[in-house]
A = this chain, B = another copy of it.
Amino acid sequence: MKKIQPKTLSGFMELLPHEQILFEKIKSTIQTNFEKFGFLPLDTPAVESSEVLLAKVGGETEKQVYHVANGAFDEGKKLCLRYDLTVPLAKYVALYGNQLTFPFRRYQIGKAYRGERPQKGRFREFYQCDIDVIGLNELSLYHDGELPSVIYNIFTQLNIGEFVINISNRKIMKGLFEHLGLQEKSADILRTIDKFEKIGKEKVELILKDDFLISQEQIQTIMQLATLKASNSQIIEHLKNMNIQNTTFTQGVDELEQVCAVMRAQGVPEKNFAINLTITRGLDYYTGTVYETFLTNHRSIGSICSGGRYDNLASCYSDQTMPGVGISIGLTRLFDQLLANQIVTAQKTALTQVLVVPMDQIEPCLGLASALRNQSINCEVYFENTKFKNKLSYANKQNIPFVVIVGQDELAGNYYTLKNMQTGEQTKASVQDIVDAVKNIN
């Protein structure tokens, strides 16, 4: 029989079991925190009609969409794979709005697809972990202050080092540009400022002057804000003292101040958030609060959790105004980067806690395994007929922390031999001793 070369598509993450265990653990931490803050689970289809999914898409993203050709009974229908979880959410609230309770808090952890140019750290199939709160007509600003608390809890529990939630409000720069008469050029200016870290202050100023014809005085005002290094409270104070007579600006500063206050009241430490007025992500999309999150010692990874406030989620599908605020963790890329930068390690992962090893008779092991499982212990019996050495080696390779040996001596003496695979220590044990030993190391 001619063999087909087994392979996995590039850009599609596929993990070995010990890595998958770690991935699932991180996913589960994220999910638990989403639920702790009262977000409801959703699981919309990965395939949608192209008309619905591509209602608003454009540019690079549209080119990257995967189109799905019909199954046997779908002739003529145009389908595609979702490229994020936000558009399906917009469809969902427009479609089921009258059966939902608002504010509608939902989380979704699922795969999305983009046919991006293959390169290291970029994935064509990737998990998004999203939370959004959607209001009907209006939505309290308190939600904007609560989301960073969710981020803070997740990244603290993941224990992946120091992180800072960067926060801003789009209205501040928008108001400033209105005030300076530069609103037409605002996107250009923000995108230029965004290069600050890469190309340095002088080049940024040169581009602003030569390419976008901004006056020296205006550049000074803008750059002063963009490069402001001060505590969160000092930045708010500074913004207030600028005395800029523009209602958008003033509103932005007020909102940012309130959001910071809510973050503090929720217990987010000052060192874990920083006002950063130059966040450019989602310029066409976010209208108020915006977030990005960086690992202090691995800034090159980029933002590991981003989001913000938007005015109207489902404007493509519904006449109802639905403002919202949300954040998203790109888990596949994050996980890849955490491993690549050795911030986490998948070497010693295991789900199974006990391997029961029969010396000869298997039957007496079955009841023991059931008894351990009934006490919520993940347990497996080694069934293959092979040398004792190979059975222990199986446990070792899988990082299973305990082996229980069941031989003639044990059966005659009415006990089990419990072997701690880390220390090598062997003890006579009852079922309860085994349970206690396993629970003690967790």
* Chain A residues close to B by CB (< 8 Å): 1, 3-9, 12-17, 20-21, 23-24, 35-38, 40-49, 51-52, 55, 60, 63-74, 77, 79, 81, 90-92, 94-96, 99-101, 103, 105-106, 111, 113-118, 124-125, 135, 138-140, 142-143, 146, 149, 153, 261-262, 265-267, 314-319, 351-352, 355, 362-363, 366-367, 369-370, 373, 376-381, 383-385, 394, 397-398
Contact = CB atoms under 8 A, between A and B. Distances in A.
Contacts of A77: 9
A47 B125 contact: yes
9 contacts: A8-B91, A8-B95, A15-B42, A17-B41, A36-B376, A45-B125, A71-B114, A265-B363, A266-B370
CB-CB nearest 6 A-B residue pairs: A71-B115, A38-B380, A12-B45, A142-B383, A140-B383, A67-B69
Contact of A71 (B63, B143, B373): B63
A392 to B, nearest CB: 12
Contacts of A40: 17, 20-21, 351-352, 398
A214 to B, nearest CB: 33
Contacts of A7: 49, 52, 91, 95
Q: In this complex, which of A71, A105, A114 has the most chain B Cβ atoms within 10 angstroms of its Cβ?
A: A71
A114 B47 CA distance: 12
Contacts of A149: 370
A116 B51 contact: no
B37 A373 contact: yes
Contacts of A68: 66-69, 81
A47 B6 contact: no
Contact of A21 (B41, B115, B138): B41
Q: In this complex, which of A118, A142, A362 has the most chain B Cβ atoms within 10 angstroms of its Cβ?
A: A142
Given A8-B45, A37-B380, A47-B125, A265 B79 contact: no
A20 to B, nearest CB: 5
Contacts of A114: 71
A103 B71 CA distance: 36
B373 A36 contact: yes
A128 to B, nearest CB: 14
B380 A105 contact: yes
Nearest to A366: B265
Contacts of A67: 68-69
Contacts of A115: 70-74
A270 to B, nearest CB: 16
Contacts of A380: 37-38, 105
